[in-house]
């Protein structure tokens, strides 16, 4: 029961009242297709004002890393480096539902992930999608993030019911990595994967 994502299980009920909470603002097939800077992803019409994206939150498992691996998937190193340069210091943050949570004793996985990526991993008490307040507290307490409001943040992840839903709940921008690192992402597998993730 220690790995139960109570936040995910409870917050998914919000979808009955507002199904649009799990709709991304932009979709890419894989992590290496993310535009840098991310403001480019959220501009649909020529001449439309680009959002002021000052910080980026990255999911780990099946986004830029193989699930349960605490290192960048080799094919994504170049794009990860671009993001790190475009969003230096506290402007790039990893928020995982494994590393940095209560399921990570002594935050050993988080420490290893930080060493391997050079990016801070958030230590958070509530799992996604319910940890948006902890994310905003982190950014507001880091002057170099330059973040003052949620719409200056983009959330990147492979899960509609956690990463994208959290972005919409907090008023940030959500970018969905549709295919992830690991292959089969048809509709049935997506739903099954979300339910396993929420319950386990």
Please report the pLDDT score of residue 20 as a whole number.
76
d(CA 189, CA 104): 26
pLDDT digits (tens, 9 = 90+) for 131-185: 999 999 999 999 999 999 999 999 999 999 899 999 999 999 999 999 989 854 4
Please report the pLDDT score of residue 149 as a whole number.
96
Q: How many CB atoms lie within 10 A of CB 179?
A: 17
DSSP 168: H
Please report the pLDDT score of residue 48 as a whole number.
74
How much is the pTM? 0.84
* Residue 199: pLDDT over 70: no
Longest CA–CA span in the chain (Å) reads 51
pLDDT digits (tens, 9 = 90+) for 106-138: 999 999 999 999 999 999 999 999 999 999 999
Sheet holding 92-94, edge to edge: 26-28, 173-177, 153-157, 55-58, 92-94, 120-121
Please report the pLDDT score of residue 85 as a whole number.
98
Please report the pLDDT score of residue 164 as a whole number.
96
pLDDT digits (tens, 9 = 90+) for 2-53: 455 454 445 555 555 666 788 999 999 999 999 999 999 997 666 678 899 9
Domains of the chain: 6-199 (3.40.50.1000)
Instruction: Identify whether the C-beta of residue 189 lies closer than 8 Å to the C-beta of residue 39.
Output: no
d(CA 91, CA 73): 21
Please report the pLDDT score of residue 49 as a whole number.
82
- The distance of Cα 169 from the centroid of its chain, to the nearest Å, equals 13
């Amino acid at each position: 029961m220690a790995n139960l994502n109570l936040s995910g299980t409870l917050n998914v009920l919000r979808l009955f009242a507002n199904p649009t909470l799990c709709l991304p603002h932009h979709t890419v097939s894989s992590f290496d297709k993310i535009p840098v800077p991310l403001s480019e992803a959220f501009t649909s019409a020529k001449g439309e004002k680009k959002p002021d994206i000052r910080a980026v939150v990255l999911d780990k498992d099946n986004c830029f890393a193989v699930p349960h691996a605490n290192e960048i998937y080799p094919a994504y190193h170049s794009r990860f480096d671009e993001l790190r340069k475009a969003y230096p210091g506290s402007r790039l943050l990893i928020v995982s539902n494994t590393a940095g949570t209560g399921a990570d004793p002594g935050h050993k996985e988080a420490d290893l992930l930080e060493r391997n990526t050079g990016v801070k991993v958030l230590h958070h008490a509530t799992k996604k999608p319910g940890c948006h307040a902890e994310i905003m507290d982190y950014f507001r307490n880091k002057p170099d993030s330059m973040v003052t409001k949620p719409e200056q943040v983009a959330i990147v992840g492979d899960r509609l019911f956690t990463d994208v839903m959290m972005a919409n709940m907090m008023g940030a921008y959500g970018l969905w990595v549709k295919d992830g690192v690991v292959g089969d992402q048809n509709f049935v597998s997506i739903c099954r994967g979300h339910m396993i993730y929420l319950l386990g």
